[in-house]
Amino acid sequence: MAIPWEVLAVLMFCRALVQKPVSRWTLLLVVPPIALLPMYILVPGSDMVVFGGIAVMFCYFLMAICVLARGALRGNRDAQIVVTGLSVLLVFVIRDVVVVIRADPGGILLTRTTFSSFLS
């Protein structure tokens, strides 16, 4: 259940990196993870919670990449570096989601390792 919050933190970091102003509408980004939390507590492991978390994760990742791409096109060097790393990370996320959906018992999830190495 921590993944939507982690991706939201990545999105907020990306917004701060390109110096995007904070508005009242920014607070609405917290609503989907908060809405998933009671469902996770009441019915842990249900398909709706899992796919809801995956949908929130993809939306926030795409929003972060769009924010960074806009900053990179305007010449922000930091955004150019981070958008490249997040794009590579998104490829690993898509691969891991496919492994989870196929329920492959021998599948190895690589996103967490990639994310940890990207941060260090």
Token pair for 1: 């259940």
Stretch 30-59: mean pLDDT: 87
Q: Report pLDDT for 2.
A: 79
Quote the percentage of the chain above a pLDDT of 90. 34
Token pair for 71: 């900053």
Q: Report pLDDT for 103.
A: 75
Considering only 10-14, 23-27, 46-50, 70-74, which range has the smallest mean pLDDT? 46-50
Q: 0.85 cut: is pTM over it? A: no
How far is 59 from 42, CA to CA, in rounded Å? 24
Residue 66 has pLDDT above 60, yes or no: yes
What is the Cβ-side half-sphere exposure of residue 103, based on CA atoms within 13 angstroms?
A: 2
Tens of pLDDT, residue by residue over 23-33, are: 889 889 999 99
Residue 73 has pLDDT above 90, yes or no: yes
Q: Report pLDDT for 114.
A: 67
Residue 120 has pLDDT above 60, yes or no: no
